[in-house]
Amino acid sequence: MHAQQTYGKIGISLLTKKDIDKAKQKFDLDDNKNLFWVTIGAIRIQIRSTLSNKIDQPIMMSLIDERIQNPVEGCLGSLSGNLACGKLIFTVHPRLSVSLHNQDFDGILSFVHKYGRTDLVKDNNVPFSISYLVSYAIHNQHNMTIVKESK
């Protein structure tokens, strides 16, 4: 994320078909053929300042489901904060299901952000870093029921 990229929409491939294919290799070959759905249970995004914690760095961000045409309804979650505290953690529980047959599987989620200080760093310097974690399930039907055993 360079200074000139501190405003805009980033298509983040939080979960790619390549990731899913790698995870599916852990299953038996017969089971693997029947896995067509991915349900995203949680997404955690962490924005961390690369500068001193004392510097005012307002930022606004949203996670968008690109399958939905209306941007208000496609918004999975938003956060507005200041990186003067060092880091912001943004957790969303969308519980959305996506078919592996979806042609645009890798591009269904976008991270939209606006960094409030375009005057802060020189070009080719990075004012913040982004890391993320995705929790998902691969399954064979859309209306899956998860049973958790406890002893």
Per DSSP, the three-state class of 26 is: coil
Average pLDDT, consecutive stretches of 10 residues, N- to C-terminus, the chain (151 residues): 52 76 77 78 89 84 90 92 89 90 84 79 77 84 51 41
Residue 151 lies in a domain: no
Work out the number of other CB atoms within 10 angstroms of the CB of residue 34. Answer: 10
Residue 144: the pLDDT is 52
Residue 148 lies in a domain: no
What angle is formed at CA 78 by the lines to CA 20 and CA 40, rounded to 5 degrees? 20
Residue 145 lies in a domain: no
Give the number of domains in the chain. Answer: 1
Identify residue 46 by its one-letter amino acid code: Q
